[in-house]
Amino acid sequence: MESVLQINEIKKSYGAVQALKGVTITVPKGSVYGILGPNGSGKTTMLGIILDVLNADSGQYLWSNYESAQLARQHIGSLLETPNFYHYLSAKNNLEISANIKNRGYDDIDHVLKLVNLYERRDSKFSTFSLGMKQRLAIAAALLGKPDILVLDEPTNGLDPAGIAEIRTLIIKLNKEGITIIIASHMLDEVEKVCTHMAILKLGNLITEGAVKDVLNDEDSIEIDSADNKKLQLILSSYQGVKSMRTDRMINVILNNGFNTEDLNKFCYEQGIILNHIQRRKRTLESKFIEITQ
């Protein structure tokens, strides 16, 4: 698959703190690529480097199909922090100011307002907008100049569920328009719903990357329960079919390849444990994230 961005062994430190420790990732063209990780994992530092806001200590990155990083920047829209829009001006007036700052014309202002579903409110003051609408206007500003690539840092941060849903719908819509989108986020559930590819960072290290379906690897968990879960947990720790196990109210296990629910039930029965509950649960990005970052 053709890539739009290749990052190779990027390192960045702030004094004694290593923010990035030799990270290498490839962003496919046409993807929605999520860079995930808790606070302090290096997500924002990574975006700052690929947007030339920060300099890496070592390593390199390459925006494919562009002769230079400067030329690539002309085809990239970015949102690292919410622009300082004027509250007393309309959405359209604010975008005109953004266009002037970016040396863009006004020709596509109506187009980007339609893309983010704010055209009908183009003459409304910014102060009348909800948080979700304000964030959509910020994304509209990033879309000025018809970029091929959109880079967003925590685009749903601070939004209520309705605002998060608005941004999620917008990201899917923009991707269908042919825009490659790179998102840094810690909101796993939302990223899982929009991303095609992902990388997970922890304390500056790349833990895993690839297509979301490959990272999750179809590893559904099996939720089981018995009258004696302490004994059940003990016998499962010696079962070769169990890849991983965690205990909540019930016990959730992920099986190794070649083992299934029937094998698990049979093993427990042979060890004197009768399961009173057994149910397959679809693997979530959250469970995978917890597993690989602990």
Tens digit of each residue's pLDDT (9 = 90 or more) over 176-207:
999 999 999 887 777 778 999 999 998 999 98
Domain range list for the chain: 3-216, 221-293
| Residue 220 confidence (pLDDT) | 67
What is the mean predicted confidence (pLDDT) over 122-126? Answer: 97
CATH homologous superfamily for the domain 3-216: P-loop containing nucleotide triphosphate hydrolases (3.40.50.300)
Give residues with Cβ within 8 angstroms of 138, minimum separation 6: 79, 82, 83, 85
| Residue 218 confidence (pLDDT) | 54
Tokens representing 21 are: 């420790």
Q: What is the pLDDT of residues 73-82, one digit of tens each?
A: 788 999 987 7
CATH 3.30.70 fits 221-293, yes or no: yes
Contact 162, 132 (CB under 8 A): yes
Let me know if the fold of 3-216 is the same as that of 221-293: no
Q: What is the pLDDT of residues 2-46, one digit of tens each?
A: 999 999 999 999 999 999 999 999 999 999 999 988 888 899 999
3-state secondary structure of 185: strand
Q: Pairing relation of β-strands 251-255 and 242-247? A: antiparallel
Give residues with Cβ within 8 angstroms of 43, minimum separation 6: 35, 36, 37, 153, 184, 185, 186, 201
Amino acid at 58: S
Give residues with Cβ within 8 angstroms of 70, minimum separation 6: none
Q: Pairing relation of β-strands 17-28 and 180-185? A: unpaired
| Residue 242 confidence (pLDDT) | 87
Indicate the average pLDDT of the chain.
Answer: 88
Quote the pTM value.
0.78
What is the mean predicted confidence (pLDDT) over 242-259? Answer: 83
Where do we find the tokens 């990388």?
199
| Residue 187 confidence (pLDDT) | 76
| Residue 71 confidence (pLDDT) | 77
Distance CA 146, CA 104 (A): 10
| Residue 17 confidence (pLDDT) | 92
Model confidence at 60, in pLDDT bands (50, 70, 90)? very high
Q: Considering only 117-121, 228-232, 253-257, which range has the smallest mean pLDDT?
A: 253-257
Distance CA 239, CA 231 (A): 13
Q: What is the pLDDT of residues 110-123, one digit of tens each?
A: 999 999 999 999 99
